[in-house]
Amino acid sequence: MSALNTDIYELTMAAGYFAAGKTEEIATFELSVRRLPDSRNFLLATGLQQAVEYLLSLQFEAEELSYLKSLAHFNNAPPEFFDSLARLRFTGDLYAVPEGTPVFPNEPIAIVRAPLVEAQLVETFLLSTFAFQTSIASKAVRCVAAAEGRGIVEFGSRRAHSPEAGVLAGRAAYIGGCTGTSNALAGMKFGIPVFGTAAHSWTMSFPSEEEAFRRLQNLLGESTVFLVDTYNTIEGTRLAARFGRPLWGVRLDSGDLLSLSQAVRRILDDAGLTDAKIFATSDLDEHRIAELLAQGACFDAFGVGTQLATSADAPALPAVYKLVEIRRGAELQYTAKFSDEKATLPGAKQVYRYPDHDLLVLASECNSTYKGQPLLRPVLSQGELLEPLPSTERIRSFAQSAVAALPPELHNITRVPAHPVVIGPALLDLTDNLRTIHSARTEATLP
C-alpha cells in the first residue's frame, strides 16, 4: 500500500504544516457519513481491517519522494520536509466501531488522533476504504433481508469498478450476510466460501448440451449446477432431470424468472429431484428478489452481481473526514464547520446505543451515567495494534447479531422514519458556544 496513494492536497498541506512549525500539534479527525442514501435505513460499517493494514505499513519509498520533489507544488517546501517524509510512520491512535456495526448519519465510524501531518495524510485512503466497503456491505444486508433466509451469493467481480474492488466487494458482501462470493482471490485471502460452476460458454463449447452437462457432472459431482437456459430453459431442465444425481441444482439466468422457476420446480419434482435447488441470477437486486418471492417464485438461492458489487442504487456514500480538535501543548482547541448543509460537531465523540435510539456525546464526558452500549473502541495506540483483528467469519457473525438487534422496522428494504440519533447536552452546548465565537469573529472582521 503506497503512501503516495492519496490526494495531492494532503501532501501540499503536509508541506505547509511542516513549514509553519505545526508538526508537534496533535490532531483528531473523525470519519463519518453525513446522510443516508435515500434507499437505506442504516449502514454497516466495514473496511477496518484494510484501514489498519494501511496505517501499520505507512511509509514513503525513495522513488516516491523523488517524484514529489519533481513537482512544482513543492518548489518552496523546505528540504527537511522530504527528510521527514522518509522517516514517517503512523504513530497515532485509532478508535473505531467494530466491523459489522450498524451506524447512522454523523456517527463516527473511526477516529484518528495523531501528529497533524500523519493524521492529514491518511484521509484519502481511509475515506475510500471505509466508504466503499460500507456501501457494499450495506447493500448486501438488504439483499439478504429480501431473500428471507435463502442464500445470496456475491457474483459481481466482472462488473466491479476494478479487480481490487471486486475482491473487497466479495469481502464486504460476505460480512453483510452473503453466503459466499464468486471471486477466488477473495475466497483465499479472507476465508470466504466460493461458488460458481460454469457459464453459457461452457455449454456452447461442446457439440451438444447433453455432452456439456455430462462432462460438467463428471467434473463436479455433488456440486453440479446445470445452467439450463443456454438454448431453451424447459428443455435444458428436462435434460438436467434425466442426468439426475449427483446434482446440487440448476441455474436460471434469463427469461420470465417467475414462471420459469415454477415450471422448472415441477420438472425436477416429477423426476424425484425434490431436493435439487433452483438458483437465480440475471441482474437481480433486493427489490427484484422480494418481488419474485412475493409472487411465488420457486428459488432457493440468488446470485447478485452488478447491483451488489457496485451498490448501484447508492454507489457513493457522502463520507467525510473532519478535524474536530487539535492540541498544541497543553492547549486544546475544538474545531467545527458551520457552513450550510455541511456543518460538523466539535470534539472527539463516543456513540452509545440504546434499543430505540443512539446517543452522541463528547468522549471526554463518558461516564457510568450512560447505560447504553459504547460503540467506539481503541484499535491502535501510538501506532501499535492493541489486539489481533477478528477473522472475516467472526466479523460476519458479529454483524448478523448487531443487525438482528436493531429495531425491526429498520430491516425493511423500503425507507422508514429515521432512527433517532440524540446529541448530548454538553456537545450541543459546546457547538453553540463555538458558533457564537465564530459569529463574533466574523462580525469583527467585516468593514
pLDDT tens for 141-162 read: 999 999 999 999 999 999 999 9
Does residue 90 contact residue 118 with C-beta atoms inside 8 Å? yes
Q: How far apart are CA 215 and CA 211, in angstroms?
A: 6
**339-343, long-range: CB within 8 Å, 24+ apart, which pairs?**
342/34
Segment-wise mean pLDDT, segments of 10 residues, the chain, 447 residues: 93 97 97 96 99 98 97 96 97 99 98 98 98 99 98 97 97 99 98 96 98 98 98 98 97 98 99 98 97 98 98 96 97 90 92 97 84 96 98 99 98 96 95 87 65
CA distances from 311 to 74, 97, 141, 383 (A): 38, 22, 11, 33
Does residue 139 contact residue 175 with C-beta atoms inside 8 Å? no
What are the E-state strand segments in 156-291? 180-181, 225-227, 249-252, 277-280
Identify the pLDDT of residue 440: 75
Domains of the chain as residue ranges with CATH: 8-134+318-445 (3.20.140.10), 136-309 (3.20.20.70)
Nearest to 194 by CA among 214, 164, 171: 171
Identify the pLDDT of residue 2: 87
Cell numbers describing residue 42: 442504516
Nearest to 311 by CA among 168, 151, 112: 168
pTM: 0.95
Identify the pLDDT of residue 366: 74
The CA angle 13-97-88, to the nearest 5 degrees, is: 30
Identify the pLDDT of residue 219: 97
